[in-house]
Structures are given as structure tokens and as C-alpha cells.
Amino acid sequence: MLERKIQGTIMRWIRNSDKALLVYGVRQAGKTFIIRECLKASGCDYVEFNLIRQPEIVDILATAGSIDDLILKLSLCTDKRIVPGSTFIFFDEIQKYKEIVTKIKFLVEDGRCRYIMSGSLLGVEIVNLKSAPVGYLQSICMYPLDFEEFLQLFNVDAGIMNMLHSAYEARTPVDELVHRKLMDIFNLYLIIGGMPAAVDKYRATGNIDDVIDEHRSIIEQYKLDFTQYEEENRKLLITHIYEMIPAELNEKNKRFMIADIRKDLRFERVSDSFTWLWKAGVALGVFNVTEPTIPLMLNQKSSLFKTFLSDVGLLTTLYGKPCKLKIVNGEKGVNNGSVYENVVAQELAAHGYPLFYYNSKKKGELDFVVEHAGRVLPIEVKSGKDYERHSALDNVLGTVQYGIDEAYVFTNENVRTRENISYLPIYMVMFLKEDPVVFGDISVDNFRF
């Protein structure tokens, strides 16, 4: 079994929390499997109810007159005993009855059982819930496998990972043999991606056609979901936008052009469709900021954005098998710009960074800007040989009032630095993570007169 980083969070919840837990995210990211594995590994006594396969559970949740009534009826739907003070109740596919999120407060207060839930397509639904159970529910988002998790397939041991991380921290070159091997594995990641079903198929068969079949199955399931959740007067609009993403990313200006949907269309008419895709996790929105200064959110211009797919393997499948073949063969003339940027967007999102880019008519465009270590960190992504040409980055670094003293350029090449710019192999994006913020002593006693 491949280890997932989210397991640590779930295990800590099992050991220490008295809240309910909600694990949400893109469909087929492996939520159900990981929750089961964590409950088993902790020796938990649990019962599982799937709201799609067991629609009667939805009726029970909706009509139960009391918690006693609910637990009694649930116990009749499982061959396991529900033991007060011991049993964990796992509700899967809760998008079929999202109101459970508003009721969880009373179940948690009752205290007889512990509750864990999972669901897909929940982003918009949770945002729209009017009675969020503040203080009673912990929510965590699960993503497809990131590159570091993907490396487990190839038995990359702790010694190599430590060496790579040390090279990242010290900005020293990686052993050239190791660097080339990591680039080969990274190219495989570009064509396989991080969807667990596709990764498992690759591990089982080593056949890229089988992986592509898995990707196509996932994409078709997404489209079926889109049509089920769209308003009647906007049928197929979300599907149309989703299908446009690969082509929009292949343009020189990767910003999504609303006019490409329809020439006379205004963003306000379709903003809900984009929000649905982003909140459901099947796409990633990267928003324009007018100034690369902290806090970036205050400079956000929400009507200007790039949209990436949630998984790079799905993207390269939509680009076609010839694209995958050129990538895995490492053909030098291939422009992997959109594919590389998609990976970086995925990694940043999985590591908890809000996604922004910067664009100015005078200074140019930066692929990404993030808040890192209390400062703005500009990021450029270069797939070609001219990775040292970055006029927009130079312009921003040269603007004194921005106060930016460091920038990253992710490339195909080994580690090197030039003044305040770090050129890093694209696979090292796996190490770009925000350190926990540590406050000093802010206890009440420290502030008394």
C-alpha cells in the first residue's frame, strides 16, 4: 500500500480529537480507502455506511426523530454492533445528503460515537451551508498523489530523499546520475499522474494504454457528475468549460478567455460554473493579483484567472498519446509549458498554498506568486533551454517597493543559483512547503497590566 500524507492527519484525529472529521476532495482521490486503512491500523471498531449504495441510510438520516432513533435504525442496517463509547461511524458519499454536516453538532455533543465522513463534489455545497457546525467538525481536503507520494513506486529510499532535500536547502547540485533518474521518473508522473486507480493500474500492468483507459473512465465520470449538478438552464456549460481547459492552457497566454466560450459572454454569467469546478476539486483556479505584495488576497482580481486540471495525468491523456510518448522519451523539442505549470499548480495546492499569478503590462507575467515564509515568493516554470530568460521576473525583483529578495525558477536542469534567483529541477517543487507559523508567548498573563 502506498503511504499518503493525509494519513498522519487522520491518525492524529483518531487519537486526539473529539470533533467529527470530514475528508473531502476530488472524486477517486482515494478518500474511502485511506479512511478504512487508518481506522483498521488504529484498531478502531467501526461501521461504514455508503449513501449511494445504501439510499435507505439517507432516509434514516433525514427522518430520525432523535439520536436514539438514529442509532437504533443504523444498527439494523449493519451486521456489526454499534457500541456506545467505542464505535466509529463512517458515512461515505455524503454529497447524497449534505445536510448531515449541519446535524453533526448534535451527534458530536451526544458523545456515544465518533463520526467520520467523506464525500466528493462538496466544495460548493459546504460553502453554501448556512449552519456550519463551528467547533464540532474538522475538515481536510484530499488531493491526488503528489510527486513525493508517487516516488514510493520506485523504492526511492530515505537516504536519497534526504540527499535531495539537502541539495534543495543548500542550493547545491544533485549528483548527475540521480538527477537524470529523477527527471525520468518525473516524466512518468506527467503521463500517469496521481489518481490512485491510474497509479495502481500502472503498477499492476506497466501498460500506458491501461492507464489511459482509467483516465478516460475518470473523466467520463466527472462529466456525468457535471450534468447532475448543473442548473437546467445551464446544462453542459460546466462540461464545455472543463473540455476547454487543455486548449486554453496550450495558448501562450494561459489565462482562461471567457470569449472563447462565446464571444458576447460576460464572466458574471458563467462565474458559478467556474466556481463549481474549483470547489469540487476537479480544476484548480489560479487568480491574478495586481501587485505582488502581502497579503496577496487583497490584490486579487477574481475575474482574471488560469484554470488547471486537478491531475496532470488526466491533462496529458486529453492531449493525446503522442504527447505522452514525447514526454516519456524526453524529446528536447517538446514544449511542456502547460504540463509543467499544471504540476506546479497541483503541488502548491496540495501543500496548502492559495494560488495566484501576477501580470502587468509594464513588467510582464509571473507564472505563480505565493506567500512563503512571510514574504512574496515569485515562481517561474520553464520547460525549455532558455530558462535563464525571464524579463518579468527580473523586472519584479528590480522593483524596490515590492521588497522581494528571492525567486524560484523550476526547470529541467540541475540546481544552480544566480544572485537572488534559485534554478531548481522541476521535481524539487515537492519540497516547497510552508513551515508552521510559531508565535511567541501570547498567553493572557503575558499581556496583563
CATH number at 59 reads 3.40.50.300
What pTM, to 2 d.p., does this model score? 0.91
Greatest alpha-carbon span in the chain: 71
Look at residue 130 in the predicted model and tell me its pLDDT: 46
Look at residue 185 in the predicted model and tell me its pLDDT: 97
Q: Please answer whether residues 35 and 140 qualify as being in contact, where contact means their C-beta atoms are separated by less than 8 angstroms.
A: no
Whether 252 and 380 share a structural domain: yes
Whether 253 and 269 share a structural domain: yes
- What is the C-alpha separation between 359 and 289, in angstroms, rounded? 7
Whether 374 and 421 share a structural domain: yes
Look at residue 337 in the predicted model and tell me its pLDDT: 84
Whether 188 and 110 share a structural domain: no
Which of 90, 116, 142 marks a domain boundary? 142
Look at residue 68 in the predicted model and tell me its pLDDT: 93
Q: Please answer whether residues 384 and 340 qualify as being in contact, where contact means their C-beta atoms are separated by less than 8 angstroms.
A: no
Of 142, 78, 131, 140, the C-alpha closest to 104 is 131
Q: What is the pLDDT of residues 66-100, one digit of tens each?
A: 999 999 999 999 999 999 999 999 999 998 888 88
User: Would you give the DSSP letter of residue 194?
Assistant: S
Whether 273 and 363 share a structural domain: yes
Look at residue 166 and tell me if it is in a domain: yes
CA angle 399, 345, 377 (to 5 degrees): 25
Which of 142, 161, 196 marks a domain boundary? 142
Look at residue 81 and tell me if it is in a domain: yes
Which of 94, 125, 142 marks a domain boundary? 142
Whether 156 and 193 share a structural domain: yes
- What is the C-alpha separation between 222 and 232, in angstroms, rounded? 18
Whether 199 and 219 share a structural domain: yes
Domain range enclosing 111: 6-142
Whether 111 and 165 share a structural domain: no
Q: Is 25 left (phi over 0), alpha (psi -120 to 50) or beta?
A: left
Residue spans of beta strands (DSSP E) within 244-399: 283-289, 300-309, 356-360, 364-372, 375-381
Domain count within the chain: 2
Look at residue 442 and tell me if it is in a domain: no
Please give the grid coordinates belonging to residue 432. Answer: 516547497
Look at residue 1 and tell me if it is in a domain: no
Whether 216 and 137 share a structural domain: no
Whether 39 and 167 share a structural domain: no
Handedness of CA 391, 394, 400, 403 (dihedral sign): positive
Burial per residue of 178-201, b for 16 or more beta-carbon CB atoms within 10 angstroms, e otherwise: ebeebbeebbbbbbbbbbbbbbeb
Look at residue 334 in the predicted model and tell me its pLDDT: 61
Measured CA to CA in angstroms, residue 370 lies from 62, 94, 249, 279 at distances of: 43, 33, 20, 20
Kindly give the parts of the chain with pLDDT less than 70.
122-133, 230-235, 332-335, 436-443, 445
Look at residue 187 and tell me if it is in a domain: yes
Look at residue 22 in the predicted model and tell me its pLDDT: 93
Look at residue 169 and tell me if it is in a domain: yes
Look at residue 437 in the predicted model and tell me its pLDDT: 58
- What is the C-alpha separation between 365 and 272, in angstroms, rounded? 26
Q: Please answer whether residues 313 and 191 qualify as being in contact, where contact means their C-beta atoms are separated by less than 8 angstroms.
A: yes
Look at residue 443 and tell me if it is in a domain: no
Look at residue 258 in the predicted model and tell me its pLDDT: 87
Whether 138 and 169 share a structural domain: no
Alpha carbon dihedral 127, 133, 137, 141, in 10-degree steps, equals 0
Give the SS3 label for residue 267: helix
Look at residue 280 in the predicted model and tell me its pLDDT: 87
- What is the C-alpha separation between 210 and 321, in angstroms, rounded? 12
Look at residue 62 and tell me if it is in a domain: yes
DSSP assignment of 111-135 equals: -SSEEEEEESS-HHHHHH-SS--TT
Look at residue 331 in the predicted model and tell me its pLDDT: 77
Whether 81 and 158 share a structural domain: no
